[in-house]
Chains A and B, each alone.
Chain A
Amino acid sequence: MVLPLFDKLYDAPINFIIPRHEQGGAHMADGYARASGKVGVVLTTSGPGACNLTTGIANAMMDSVPIVALTGQVRTDLIGNDAFQESDITGVTRSITKHNMIVKDVKDLQQSIREAFYIAGTGRPGPVLIDIPVDIEVAKCQMKPLTEVSLPGYKPQVKGHHRQIKMAAEAINKSEKPVVYVGGGVVSSNAAEELRAFAQKANLPVTMTLLGLGTYDQTRAESLDMLGMHGTAYANYAVQECDLLIAIGARFDDRVTGKVKTFAPHAKVIHIDIDPSSISKNVAVNIPVVGDAKYILTELIKEVQHKERKEWFDKIADWKSRFPLRYDTKSPNIKPQYVIEQIWEATKDRAIIVTGVGQHQMWTSQFYKHTKPRHFITSGGLGTMGFGLPAAIGAQVALPDALVVDIDGDSSFNMTLTEISTAVQYELPIKVCIINNGYMGMVRQWQELFYNKRYSKSYLKNPDFAAVAEALGAVGITVEKKSEVKNAIAKMIAEKKPCIVDFHVEREENVWPMVATGKSLHEMDGLDIFESMA
């Protein structure tokens, strides 16, 4: 029950967006947080409302996004009685929140809320849930003067150990073949500027994880772009051959490392991370530096020296020229990669790009050139289909004047498309580009490659998305010819209303390169396909 809170919201100076589904609300708070760097907030009722948040909370947890979820709860004297719309939401969300709590005494409410925002937004950020029984919502208490939050069990280490930083700098200065491997931690720490200065001073090539994209300008020559399962060949080769891997705010996820045993086999590993439990979790680390990336990079910049490393950069340039990302540009059909390239051409670095999960997400990471942090918003760790549209709405709320484009898949979009109504209601001019191949594309790709082309339940009969958009009060455009792509994108950008463009793309296109499960990072499939298109 949260009616008392909604009653207060009736005349509170808070920008409140009422979503169509609580999962959408959680993703909106998430998109808001990623775009703005501030803590996003979502409020729901108890029971079903709270349970519907779980996917969004888990998503924020996996990607270290600061959100605070407030849930109503049944009266304290009813808790445990299986009351109407009761669920033990702190129990349900215990493993998918950074912290959660139930407030059973109104005297604790103020402090709990302050602690929730503090915990969500500091250290390695994450979701915090506060469950508030309805009798606490209406109880009265005296507001206390604000004091610093101090928690005996929570003291994030911001400054790195000086000796460790010195050791890291020495290793960097000695290295002949270094690679910087950057994750979402650099976004959280707002350290993109420091990263640029560090990499350029020491002369280091930089590769990024999916969540790290945007931290290093991909139009620069030192960018190796994304690494991992669908990363570039030059990033993966560089990691496999480097003598020093400098991981910053990254966690050696299995989609990044491929087979862990043979990951970066010749490298000494430096790992800079604010979360000590990330260090040596998957890959043994030689020089750990626990602390905030921004602080540590600032210190490192002072210690590192410029080194030419001509052979190494020549080798990287050679890989780049031999194995660039390719697709069949001569095809008369609409290639999904072509649509994404055209979106890039039309928006350059001014758009906030959001995605769903699947093939379109990988092509967006590959064929859109990400140049600024917080300009690429995507569900990495949890891989939540349906994330795109509500996250785009959240980003648009954070940045009302920005051009927010959700590049989505048809299946992903289908999962949360009801939130178009929310965008229409609040006049949020988000843009959606559906890369529509009529399949759950990534599922189909795996079925093609690993299940003998048995496309089991991966086919979807989609509605006419443009008509759905129009019916919900947005603008809908359908694109079936390659010649119409550019115009449709231009029209979409000029549109003042929420606008959904449905691109009917090549149906059975695959994402390459691909490191299959269990393979080492350098054992990529698809490079021969690239070569045949050269």
Chain B
Amino acid sequence: MKHIISTLVQNKPGVLAHVAGMFAARAFNIDSLAVGRTDDPALSRMTIVVIGDDKVVEQVRKQLEKIIDVVKVQDFAIKDVIAHDLMLMCVHAPPEKRPEILALVEMFKGKVVDIGQKFVMVELADTEEKLEAFIEACRPYGIKNLARTGTVAMAGFERTEIADNQ
């Protein structure tokens, strides 16, 4: 099962290496990893998507908590959170195909952020499923480049975390 693990870490050099190194050393798989600042300059948030059974994910959580610079670990079941991913996609869009593509972008509530002679660049921020669907919809036109941030997540209101830093 897919778990989203949200960790608050101290904003220090080497923390990312420590977290990533722990995953490698203990043979845990990272599906995606997103790192960014928080409102507190001393803290960063790492959102890590992990695939594994409950036992594996429990170990992931405990091993993360063991890292000295990791301040807090929350483990969300995938459906209990608002989990979004930001994607930039460069898709082949010759003039005759452009209306179709723009309609798709509209349909997915995306945004065209740059236009070239043969390509358009689209920005889309949504759930992983939506992003995957958009990629499949654009694939026939020819995707030139694609970049994603990895999932960031927060607990939804009135939804429960399954393990809030027990």
Contacts and interface: CB of A to CB of B under 8 A. Distances in A.
Interface of A: 90-91, 94-95, 98-99, 101-102, 119, 151-154, 275-277, 279-281
Across the A-B interface, give the 9 residue pairs with the lowest CB-CB distance, nearest first.
A277-B62, A95-B25, A153-B71, A99-B68, A152-B71, A94-B21, A154-B68, A153-B70, A276-B62
Interface of B: 9-10, 13-14, 17-18, 21-22, 25, 55, 58-59, 62-63, 65-72
Contacts of B67: 153
A99 B22 CA distance: 12
A275 B66 contact: yes
Nearest to B68: A99
Nearest to A284: B55
B14 A101 contact: yes
B16 to A, nearest CB: 11
Nearest to A152: B71
A280 B68 contact: no
A90 B15 CA distance: 11
B68 A153 contact: yes
A302 to B, nearest CB: 26
Nearest to A290: B166
Residues of A contacting B: mostly: mixed
Contacts of B58: 280
A106 to B, nearest CB: 16
A102 B65 contact: no
Contacts of B62: 276-277, 279
Contacts of A280: 55, 58
B14 A102 contact: yes
Given A91-B17, A101-B14, A280-B55, A151 B66 contact: no
Given A95-B22, A153-B10, A119 B68 contact: yes
A290 B146 CA distance: 46
Nearest to A128: B68
A360 B161 CA distance: 52
B139 to A, nearest CB: 39
B14 A281 contact: no
Contact of A277 (B13, B55, B65, B71): B65
A91 to B, nearest CB: 7
Contact of B18 (A94, A102, A275): A94
A468 to B, nearest CB: 39
A92 to B, nearest CB: 11
Contacts of B65: 276-277
Contacts of A153: 9-10, 67-72
A274 to B, nearest CB: 11
B14 A277 contact: no
A279 B58 CA distance: 10
Nearest to B20: A94
B68 A94 contact: no
A230 B166 CA distance: 37
A300 to B, nearest CB: 22
A98 B55 contact: no
B28 to A, nearest CB: 12
A195 B127 CA distance: 54
Nearest to A281: B59
Nearest to A123: B66
Nearest to B55: A280
A269 to B, nearest CB: 15
A153 B43 CA distance: 11
Nearest to B7: A153
Contacts of B17: 91, 94
A281 B72 CA distance: 20
Nearest to B72: A153
B62 to A, nearest CB: 4
